[in-house]
Amino acid sequence: MKLLRYGLPGQEKPGVLDQDGHIRDLCGLTPDIDGSFLASAAWLRLQALDLSTLPRVEGQPRLGACVGRIGKFVCIGLNYADHAAESNMPIPQEPVVFNKWTSAVVGPNDDVRIPRGSEKTDWEVELGVVIGRTASYIEEDQAMDHVAGYCVVNDISERAYQLERGGTWDKGKGCDTFGPTGPWLVTRDEIPDPHRLRLWLEVDGRRYQDGNTATMIFRVPQIIAYLSRFMTLHPGDVISTGTPPGVGMGIKPEPVYLRAGQTMRLGIDGLGEQRQRVVNA
């Protein structure tokens, strides 16, 4: 099942994509696709519904982030060995953990704003994992029971802010619009193995990233169990699991960074595509 949120920013309504690719309205069943909805397991009951009986949403409305009121937006860095190499960083022995501020979250096709003064804004296509059950001090063999589903994340990054301005990575990761999420939350039953998904990203039609989650260093169960030792994961939290090689910072002989007027297009097998226009803040 592909759950989604549609409508103007701040006024998104819950929906689901039917088998013919049409949006069906879920307002009669839930106020939103958020942590409360996921914690109640109401989404599991939706699987028994005939989606064609739900009201059809006409036209092509804007899609919001596929999870409303995200509690924590936790990210894993350097989780593909070849991306660590292009970043001139060692392969981590434990997951590298940082955060995006929830004010970074936008819809999958909303504009991405280059921060004022930025010269090194970069892209990163990533597999997002959405938590569906509270997780604290769990073991790896329990981890997947706590997953509601998966989504596409573009982990936009300002490299100078991240690496050259002191402090932690968070400074360059959490700028406004730096967290496009969606287009939909694909429930875990539709993705039997999240470690066999192709993920890719293009800028102005040029393919820069073309990887596969099979090459992750730390897999989804490891990541969830690891994080649950440092924080309680709640329904509606999102974990972005790292990016394959091909980011702008790693392009040889000279890095390539985003400029206003460009368009990013990215996607993951079974999870849909995003498309963002780059603008100046």
The arithmetic mean of pLDDT across residues 231-251, rounded, is: 96
Q: What is the pLDDT of residues 215-225, one digit of tens each?
A: 999 999 999 99
What does R_g of the chain's alpha carbons equal in angstroms? 18
Contact 71, 234 (CB under 8 A): yes
E strand intervals along the chain? 2-6, 13-17, 23-25, 73-77, 96-100, 105-106, 112-114, 121-122, 125-131, 147-154, 157-158, 179-180, 185-187, 198-203, 206-212, 238-240, 263-268, 272-280
| Mean pLDDT value of segment 124-151 | 98
Of 152, 225, 154, 226, the closest CA to residue 186 belongs to 152
> How many Cα atoms are found within 13 Å in the side-chain-facing hemisphere of 21?
3
Q: What is the mean pLDDT of residues 245-269?
A: 96
> What pLDDT was estimated at residue 88?
80
Quote the mean pLDDT of the chain.
95
Q: What does the pLDDT read at residue 85? A: 81
Q: Write the DSSP assignment of 114-141 as a string of letters.
A: EPTT-S-EE--EEEEEEE-S-BSS--HH
Residues of the chain with CATH 3.90.850.10: 73-280
Backbone angles phi, psi at 191, to 5 degrees: -125, 85
The CATH number corresponding to 73-280 among 3.40.50.620, 3.90.1150.10, 3.90.850.10, 2.60.40.2480 equals: 3.90.850.10
